[in-house]
Structure 1
Amino acid sequence: MKKLAFFIFLVLVGLKVNAQSVTDSVWVSPKKELTKFAKAVNALGQKNIFNGQLITIFAPDNEAFDKLPASKIDSLLMPTNKAILTTLLNSHIIQGKLTSVDIAKAIHNGGGQAAFTTLAGTKLVAKINPNRNIILIDENGGQSIIKTFNISQGNIEVFIIDSVFLPKI
């Protein structure tokens, strides 16, 4: 499951493999607002083939990572913290490909909120705030606004969010 989550993140940010062999490949993000996210993904150091599972990814943009202390980011990117980084990244992925319409319907049907379980086993609660933004709330009370909706990439639906979810580890 950890390997799947890593590849899912690679697909999310539209990463490309150079025409070299997989072991020589360099992962590059074509989305400027997701370069720090790509760096976190690359820190896992795995290159696996996506198995076609339908998923939704809430990808923090560069500004979201800038909200974290630099020491926290540096620590997460250390090879000894791969398990923690994997949990953090999996806290941004849910099974099933959802669009913004699907999320809005789930919020409406849930009486004003919808709960989703991430691949890390954590919960994200979706609500609509007074400004009509869809916000996500993690188990620690951290909130993130969805900034960009419905970036479809094959079996994956991507949303760009403005905060990094920090699961209890």
Structure 2
Amino acid sequence: MFTQIVKRSVALLCIMAMSASVYAGHHGMKKDIIDTAASNEDFSTLVTAIKAAGLVDTLKGDGPFTVLAPTNAAFAKLPAGTVESLLKPENKDKLVAILTYHVIPAKAMAADVVKLSEASTVQGGKIMITTMDGKVMINNAQVTATDIKASNGVIHVIDTVLMPK
């Protein structure tokens, strides 16, 4: 009898562990673009800028969105003091323009992007897309990772902050 109780307890624990794992995986698929970016330390500067620009609610919206996400290293390539200046309340409009230039108002997976030569951004400008030698360039930024899926779109990682004209 004791052996049966132990076996049943072990089986129940295994079922509970599998259920928790399935739930965690399912829950992860529900992350929107902001939550997905916020869960990656390489995007901490981007997330800080999105918050300062007041764009969190927008990018948590239904979308779909394609975000060309500069890494912290991409922001670090800007001239000294640029990020700090852009984060000031008096520069919010400029920050919004820069950030929305990184957003395409559609879900464009990598397979779709490489077929395009340009795309319109939420900011209103156009970005140029070129592919050569296996590299995909968005204006002067190289795409370094693609197809990071979120519940309301997709993120492609770029190595340079895009500046609208």
The residue correspondences of 1:1-169 to structure 2 (distance < 5 A) are: 11-14=32-35, 29-45=38-54, 48=57, 50-106=60-116, 114-130=117-133, 132-137=134-139, 143-168=140-165
- RMSD of aligned alpha carbons: 2.0
Q: How many residues align?
A: 134
CA drift of 1:34 comes to: 0.5
Aligned residue type for 1:135: M
CA drift of 1:29 comes to: 1.9
The residue number in structure 2 matching 1:6 is none
1:132-157 deviation digits (Å, cap 9, x = unpaired)? 111111xxxxx001111001101211
1:17-65 deviation digits (Å, cap 9, x = unpaired)? xxxxxxxxxxx92201101111111212465364312111101001100
1:76-128 deviation digits (Å, cap 9, x = unpaired)? 0000111110000000001110111111233xxxxxxx110101111111111
* TM-score, scaled to structure 1: 0.73
CA drift of 1:73 comes to: 1.1
Distance in 2 (CA, whole Å) between partners of 1:11 and 1:152 is: 9
Distance in 1 (CA, whole Å) between partners of 2:54 and 2:114 is: 36
In our comparison, the structure showing a higher alpha carbon Rg is 2
CA drift of 1:129 comes to: 2.1
Identity %: 27
Structure 1: stretches of 5+ with no match in the other structure: 1-9, 16-27, 107-113, 138-142
Structure 2: stretches of 5+ with no match in the other structure: 1-30
* TM-score, scaled to structure 2: 0.74
- Give the number of the structure whose residues are more often helix, by fraction: 2
